[in-house]
Amino acid sequence: MAMVSEAKMNGAPGAPAEVLPALAEHPAGLPPGEYSLVGWDMDTTGRRLIDEICQIAAYTPKQTYSQYIMPYGDLNPGARRRHNVRVVTVGRYRMLKDTITHKILKTKSEISALTDFLDWLEKEKGDGSVILIYHEPRRLSPTMLLEALTRYKLLDRFKSIVAGFADSYALAADKCKTTVKSVSLRMLARVLLDADSLSVDSALDRATAAYRIVEHLAQGNYECEQQEVGAGGEGTSKDMVETARLWARPVHTELEALANLKKLLERQNTFRPVFAPLLRLANPERKRVTQLRRLLADGGFLYDTLKEAWQEQQVAGLEKQLSSLQVSANENDIKELIEIFDCHFDPAKEPKAPRPRPTNKVRSSSSAGEAEGSSSESQKTSAHNSPNKTNNEAPAELSQQSEGEN
């Protein structure tokens, strides 16, 4: 277990917590102190706050932790394919089954597994605190973990053990931006760790890979080249902890991001009268609906605000309200939103559905109307199961969907 004592802060100011931060945003870091590093990841039944954990895993060079969890609900189609597990019924009992080996997995309840995980972390932290290292382009895993811990009243204990989260994706995106085109776990395993056969399918595999990537990038001058991992001995171990400390976000920062996400979802839910019927449309209209709804939520709008604006001045009122979206949305987005809301508020007009847009302007006319993709479960399945995608390289569906949607 790597430990470090007082070290010099780099003094980089921290950006305010955001629901969807820049991919390689440099966080504020943690204060000097003694820290233990633990690679960590988890699999979930979906990518919404109400979804459950189905595996949680952690890695250190000396110890590992891995536990499957029996969820109350089923995994959505995308999650089943990403994690290679599904819920089956044997007699009167629900069980978790590995779809590759066809074996029934030994599981615990979510609260039991989280309690065991905290027990394991407490042994690993020694005299200091733990920094959890994970790898993903968006901060979904910390958000979902903190939500689960809050649900079972385990958050205070977690905060007494864990100081923060360090994202190896952001670190690699910053250090390797001139040498690699992708900082996915598979690519970094080949380029940095010289491990073509390294698996990243399970939560434990990804926890191990995330730890080893930070271990590698902490050596020397952060060269994004192949070299022997762990070649620096004790000095490298201290460098690794220092690197993780400077790239970590404190737990309270992730809690702020969780609170911001909940506020955003609340704003999104106010638009249910408008968008709920549209979310039942086929692809690619559904994706367009989620994009437009997200623009409104990010802009701080509420359904009642736009309703009042339309009742006072109709289209002119909508134009005046939505003009503030010009910073984050283009002219076509605003025009489409005005059209949708005007038709929604005016019973004499036929409801308008969003217009899908082609992904490639150079496509032939026969394919110009093909879908860009969808935030529906069927699209998530194909996106997440691309051979170059790992579990944590998915888009941030968590912040694009409201908690109450299926």
Which residues, in sequence order, are bridge partners of residue 395?
none
Q: Looking at 7-16, 215-224, 292-301, 355-364, which range is the least confident one?
A: 7-16
Place of tokens 């993709």: 373
Cα–Cα dist 149/115, whole Å: 9
Q: What is the pLDDT of residues 269-300, one digit of tens each?
A: 999 999 988 888 777 788 888 889 999 999 99
pLDDT of 12 strictly over 60: no
Residues 6+ apart with CB under 8 A from 293: 268, 271, 275
Q: Which segment, 33-47, 209-223, 342-356, 369-383, is predicted with the most confidence on average? A: 33-47
pLDDT of 402 strictly over 60: no
pLDDT of 363 strictly over 90: no
% the chain with pLDDT above 90:
50
Contact predicate 4/248, CB 8 Å? no
Contact predicate 162/130, CB 8 Å? yes
End-to-end CA distance of the chain: 42
Cα–Cα dist 404/301, whole Å: 19
| Upper half-sphere CA count for residue 292 (Cβ side, 13 Å) | 30
Please tell me the predicted confidence (pLDDT) of residue 197. 60
More confident residue, 100 or 194: 100
More confident residue, 83 or 393: 83
Average pLDDT score, the chain: 78
Please tell me the predicted confidence (pLDDT) of residue 164. 96
Please tell me the predicted confidence (pLDDT) of residue 356. 62
pLDDT of 377 strictly over 70: no
Place of tokens 């929604």: 344
Q: What is the pLDDT of residues 198-235, one digit of tens each?
A: 667 789 999 999 999 999 888 854 455 544 433 333 43
pLDDT of 116 strictly over 90: yes
Q: What is the DSSP letter of 104?
A: B
Q: What is the pLDDT of residues 179-188, one digit of tens each?
A: 888 888 778 8
Instruction: Pick the closest to residue 42 from 124, 121, 105, 136 (CA basis).
Output: 136
Q: Looking at 118-122, 126-130, 265-269, 398-402, which range is the least confident one?
A: 398-402
Q: Which amino acid is at 186?
A: R
Q: Looking at 15-19, 146-150, 153-157, 193-197, which range is the least confident one?
A: 15-19
More confident residue, 213 or 21: 213
More confident residue, 385 or 116: 116
Query: pLDDT band at residue 394, thresholds of 50, 70 and 90?
Result: very low
Count, residues in the chain: 406
Rounded average pLDDT over 62-82: 92
Please tell me the predicted confidence (pLDDT) of residue 154. 97
Dihedrals phi, psi of 375, to nearest 5 degrees: -90, 5
Please tell me the predicted confidence (pLDDT) of residue 19. 35
The shares of helix, strand and coil residues in the chain, as percent rounded to the nearest 5, are 45, 15, 45
